[in-house]
């Protein structure tokens, strides 16, 4: 069947489709709030402008429409029989963008969770929302563990650096005292180790 909709009319129709505050998004927000979660919505400072952002749990939630995001094997997703090429290209672009956004968020240390529209129907809603809450709490636990591990690793590196510096200073003092190294030579050695340039022609052994 030929596509009877002009490009202008199609653009006008699509411009009226809401991309924010959709019914599924509002449903998920209300459920999370009722479960005690606090969050921000449509955070433009993060890649992809996640629908829901829970900073405490380092989690970004996307509530996706099954048709617009090409949810495979879903009853709500099927390519229209008119202007098929246009719709296939558009949905493929959306899929590629979703994948790229997820990677960018993950490289910044965010956990990405996708809630599909079909999973919020009356038959699956309770299970979906309970699983989402559990996943977010698990993400929060993992984030805290990762933070603690990073902090411990940093403290260990600092302790090792301090111990190495103490050993070095102790050895230097022992060598300097034992061999009566002149102060100027000691100073030149310290400057060299710190990366400073040592003036050429400095007479060795002069104090």
pLDDT tens-place string over residues 9-22: 444 444 444 568 89
As for how many domains the chain has, the answer is 1
- Tell me what pLDDT residue 2 has: 42
- Is 200 inside any structural domain? no
Q: Tell me, yes or no, whether 191 lies in a domain.
A: no
Structure letter (DSSP) for residue 49: -
Q: What is the CATH number of the domain that holds 59?
A: 3.40.960.10
HSE toward the beta carbon, residue 191, CA cutoff 13 A: 10
Report if residue 181 sits inside a domain.
Answer: no
Task: Classify residue 79: in a domain, yes or no.
Answer: yes
pLDDT of 114 strictly over 90? yes
Q: Please give the average per-residue pLDDT across 33-50, as a whole number.
A: 97
Domain-located, residue 193: no
Which helix (H) or strand (E) segment is 107 a member of?
helix 84-107
Query: Is position 199 within any domain?
Result: no
User: Per-residue pLDDT tens for 159-207?
Assistant: 898 888 888 877 777 776 776 767 676 666 666 555 555 455 544 444 4
Contacts of 135 (CB under 8 A, 6+ apart): 59, 113
**Across the strands, what pairs with 114?**
62
Residues 38-46: what's their mean pLDDT?
97
Higher-pLDDT residue of 3 and 192 is: 192
Q: Residue 158: helix, strand or coil by DSSP? A: helix
Closest CA to 80 of 68, 98, 65: 68
47-71: pLDDT as tens digits: 999 999 999 999 999 999 999 999 9
| Its pTM surpasses 0.85 | no
Question: Is the pLDDT score of 5 beyond 50?
Answer: no
Q: Which domain holds residue 77?
A: 7-149
* pLDDT value of residue 203: 47
> Does a structural domain hold residue 172?
no
In the prediction, which pLDDT does 194 show? 58
Average pLDDT estimate for 115-120: 98
Residue 134 lies in a domain: yes
**CA-based torsion, 22, 25, 26, 27: positive or negative:** positive
């Amino acid at each position: 069947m030929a596509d009877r909709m002009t490009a202008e009319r199609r653009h006008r129709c699509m411009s009226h489709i809401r991309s924010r505050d959709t019914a599924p998004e509002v449903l998920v927000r209300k459920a999370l709030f009722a479960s005690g979660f606090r969050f921000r919505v449509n955070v433009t400072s993060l890649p992809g402008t996640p629908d829901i952002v829970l900073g405490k749990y380092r989690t970004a939630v996307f509530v996706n429409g099954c048709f617009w995001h090409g949810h495979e094997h879903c009853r709500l997703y099927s390519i229209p029989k008119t202007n098929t090429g246009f719709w296939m290209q558009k949905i493929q672009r959306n899929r590629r963008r979703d994948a790229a956004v997820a990677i960018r968020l993950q490289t910044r240390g965010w956990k990405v969770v996708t809630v599909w529209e079909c999973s919020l129907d009356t038959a699956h809603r309770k299970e979906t929302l309970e699983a989402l809450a559990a996943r977010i709490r698990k993400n929060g636990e993992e984030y805290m563990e990762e933070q603690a591990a990073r902090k411990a690793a940093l403290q260990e590196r600092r302790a090792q650096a301090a111990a190495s510096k103490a050993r070095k200073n102790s050895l230097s003092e022992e060598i300097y005292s034992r061999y009566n190294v002149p102060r100027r030579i000691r100073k030149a050695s310290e400057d060299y180790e710190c990366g400073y340039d040592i003036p050429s022609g400095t007479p060795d052994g002069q104090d």
